[in-house]
Amino acid sequence: MDLKLQNKVAIVTGGAKGIGAGISEVLSEEGVNVVIADFAPLEETRLFADQLSSSYGVKTLAVRADIGKPEDIENVFNEALENFGTVDILMNNAGIGGPLKFDDITLDILQKYEKVNLEGVFLMTARFIKICLAQNKGGHIVNTLSKSAFTTNSGGNTPYIATKGAIAAYTRGLAKEMGPKGIYINAIIPGYVDTPGTSIDPTRGESVLKHIPSGRLAQPKEMGYVAAFLCSEKACQMMGVLVDVTGGTML
């Protein structure tokens, strides 16, 4: 696309698999140096990072991180600054979800969702903004939401819905506050995406097609195209925007 992002530095949480991998790959195609922070085994993340470097000629860095842990978040940024000196883009993509009946929700489970989907995003964002302000420059943040926060075709995932809904409101509120400082904050709303998570159940893809006007599952890179666009000067009038990339599912 040539979004004029060459030599920028991005952190992508959950960046080694699924939607995060699609985002990492599109950013690499655009010439962005990518820090891939993922809870997957470090060797798996390194292998993916090396593939991106080899394919697109960019610098990549693999870091194992649980963004539910403040010390892991601090380590991600320390590694990024040590290797690249700055961070221009933050993709808050990592999160936890999955079917969960209301009767099975305990305080411990609820707090686990909050730690990753809420506190992790808050702390990643706070650290990124601190760097932008200290270096007297702007930046771009893109949060990965979920259609479930707005409309759902199934029940049984209320902690996920609640935490993703909170980040939707957080995106808009913080965009208002940080926009005047040159820090753009937006979000994407994926729908049904063809990821390792969906391939676990081979029938799921077929069963959800009836809910998708586009008639097919999205590909991770298609989420990446929109996320990368939001980090470019071409999106200079977009602040606090929640972009529907569900293939019409939310219609």
pLDDT > 60? residue 101: yes
Indicate whether 117 belongs to any domain: yes
Indicate whether 1 belongs to any domain: no
pLDDT > 70? residue 204: no
Indicate whether 131 belongs to any domain: yes
pTM of the model: 0.94
Predicted confidence at residue 183, as pLDDT, reads 98
Q: Which of 160, 170, 192, 225 is catalytic?
A: 160
Q: Where are the beta strands (DSSP E) in the chain?
A: 9-13, 33-38, 60-64, 89-92, 139-144, 183-190, 242-245
What's the Rg (C-alpha) of the chain? 17
Instruction: With cut-offs at 50, 70 and 90, classify the pLDDT of residue 200.
Output: very low
Indicate whether 4 belongs to any domain: no
Find the angle CA(31)-CA(35)-CA(37) to the nearest 5 degrees. Answer: 145
Lowest mean pLDDT among 111-125, 153-167, 178-192: 153-167
Catalytic, 56? Answer no
**CATH assignment at residue 199:** 3.40.50.720
Indicate whether 123 belongs to any domain: yes
Indicate whether 2 belongs to any domain: no
Domain count across the chain: 1
Indicate whether 217 belongs to any domain: yes
Mean pLDDT, rounded, for 177-189: 98
Predicted confidence at residue 203, as pLDDT, reads 58
pLDDT > 80? residue 208: no
Question: Which is it for the CA torsion 171, 158, 194, 212, positive or negative?
Answer: negative
Q: Where are the alpha helices (DSSP H) in 93-238?
A: 107-113, 121-134, 158-178, 196-199, 204-208, 220-230
Phi then psi for residue 94, to 5 deg, are -65, 145
Q: What is the mean pLDDT of the chain?
A: 94
Predicted confidence at residue 197, as pLDDT, reads 64
Indicate whether 250 belongs to any domain: no
